[in-house]
Chain A
Amino acid sequence: MTASRTDLANARAQAHEWPLWEVFVRPKAGLDHKHCGSLHAADSKMALQLAREVYTRRQEGVSVWIVRSDQIVASDPADKAMLFDPMEDKVYRHPTFYELPPEVGHM
């Protein structure tokens, strides 16, 4: 994967491709911005404009974030087990772990 991403970066540089941006849209006030896709744009101003054209043609959002894809730091899928499996046996982090007398009611 690392090799193909390097190849991709090289191919882009050679081909004068516009950089890739990730698009996040807030569907309405009160909700989180959610990743909805990506697009190519020369700069941030153009990326915002295109995000509006490509991802909100039907009032899907009230706010858009864009970020250069190469600026995102992501966890490695190969580390998935190491990073996330240790939480599997920590059931005491969930409220349902505790059995309380019914008289206590909702707690």
Chain B
Amino acid sequence: MYTQAMDTAPKEERAAIRNADEVVAEQAFEAALDNEGFIEAKDWMPDHYRKTLVRQISQHAHSEIVGMLPEGNWITRAPTLKRKAILLAKVQDEAGHGLYLYAAGETLGTSRDQMLDALHTGKAKYSSIFNYPTLTWADVGVVGWLVDGAAIMNQIPLCRCSYAPYARAMVRVCREESFHQRQGYDALLTMMQKGTDAQRAMVQDATDRWWWPSLMMFGPPDDQSPNTAQSMRWGIKRITNDQLRQKFVNAAVEQAKILGVTLPDPDLKWNEARGEYDFGAIDWSEFWQVVNGDGPCNKERLAERVDAWNDGEWVREAALAHARRTAARAEKQAA
């Protein structure tokens, strides 16, 4: 999901090589890519690689942070203390993942405030999926099952991204994220197996609403993803959107059966020849509508982020003032 930035933004053009030193540096850079090696923060890299990565990593970070909002609403409304503790841990993880990623983005020479400013002014995007509402408790389970499931599938290849600080952050993210999908599915299983008819209907309703947006998380079809070749070369993407989407559908169909819900797609059926599930056409006009700002919750999500940032300003200032005063006092005593 989090590689959406690669597909929905214009391609950064390669700058003309200016001098002999750069030619040598670029050869070393290309050789590292040829050998599936890593580029470290202070290694030479072409500008369009740097810019593309800043965009990709910062928008990935924004997705983690904005992604806290739909679930955060349910922390105080979780049905049991156990579910509340689990959800709290998960949402805290998302905050942590955002921080790892912002830190990785900063190694490319863009400050945290610059990245946040791009989010708050609407210049930077985040994953389209977080612009859908979480209407019932079953939504929290389905977000874990489908949304985190899709995210994990998308993020695992990023652990081998050519930009080392990003790859290292992704190793940590993926290790922590594996419980996120399981806890969601577990919550849904409880509702399906031990719940009332009304609760089972709630799970089905949430599945119906989240299924198609989850498939859109993988980004536009391959023939409409002009940046794919470059992203593959740079190891920002290792598997195409359509391949990942197919893999996700294959896994989800079996999971839905065990859960006892139906997926809202009459065209979903096993294709013996392909050895995979066929599925219906995705409404890409909905995807672009949400990406371009007209999803069900775009305004609400962004407004909530901006409010949180503005409300926290006095805390940030006070902490800095306290640190400066303490440092000044220590200096005076030492003198």
With a cutoff of 8 Å between Cβ atoms, the chain A residues found around residue B109 in the complex are: 1, 4-5, 7-8
Q: When the two chains form their complex, are residues B96 and A39 in contact, meaning their CB atoms are under 8 A apart?
A: no
Known: A57-B92, A58-B176. A11 touches B322 (CB 8 A): no
Whether a CB of chain B sits under 8 angstroms from the CB of A106 is no
Interface residue range, chain B: 20 to 34
> Would you give 8 A-B contacts (Cβ < 8 Å), ordered by A?
A1-B44, A8-B110, A16-B320, A37-B172, A38-B103, A38-B106, A77-B42, A77-B44
Report the bound CA distance from A57 to B97 in whole Å. Answer: 12
With a cutoff of 8 Å between Cβ atoms, the chain B residues found around residue A77 in the complex are: 40, 42-44
Whether a CB of chain B sits under 8 angstroms from the CB of A20 is yes
Whether a CB of chain B sits under 8 angstroms from the CB of A83 is no
Whether a CB of chain B sits under 8 angstroms from the CB of A74 is yes
Report the bound CA distance from A16 to B111 in whole Å. Answer: 11
Q: When the two chains form their complex, are residues A16 and B96 in contact, meaning their CB atoms are under 8 A apart?
A: no
Report the bound CA distance from A20 to B109 in whole Å. Answer: 13
State the interface size on chain A (CB cutoff 8 A). 27
Q: When the two chains form their complex, are residues B317 and A16 in contact, meaning their CB atoms are under 8 A apart?
A: yes
Report the bound CA distance from A29 to B43 in whole Å. Answer: 34
Taking beta carbons and an 8 Å cutoff, which residues of B are in contact with A? 40, 42-44, 89, 92-93, 96, 99-100, 103, 106, 109-114, 168-169, 172, 176, 316-317, 319-320, 322-323, 326-327
With a cutoff of 8 Å between Cβ atoms, the chain B residues found around residue A74 in the complex are: 42
With a cutoff of 8 Å between Cβ atoms, the chain A residues found around residue B93 in the complex are: 57
Chain B contact surface mostly: helix
Tell me the minimal C-beta distance from A101 to chain B in angstroms.
Answer: 40
Taking beta carbons and an 8 Å cutoff, which residues of A are in contact with B? 1, 4-5, 7-8, 11-12, 15-18, 20, 36-40, 42-43, 46, 53-54, 57-58, 74, 76-77
Tell me the minimal C-beta distance from A77 to chain B in angstroms.
Answer: 5
Q: When the two chains form their complex, are residues B169 and A37 in contact, meaning their CB atoms are under 8 A apart?
A: yes
Q: When the two chains form their complex, are residues B42 and A16 in contact, meaning their CB atoms are under 8 A apart?
A: no
Report the bound CA distance from A6 to B200 in whole Å. Answer: 58
Sorted nearest first, the 7 A-B pairs with minimum C-beta distance are A4-B109, A42-B319, A43-B323, A15-B113, A42-B323, A11-B111, A38-B103
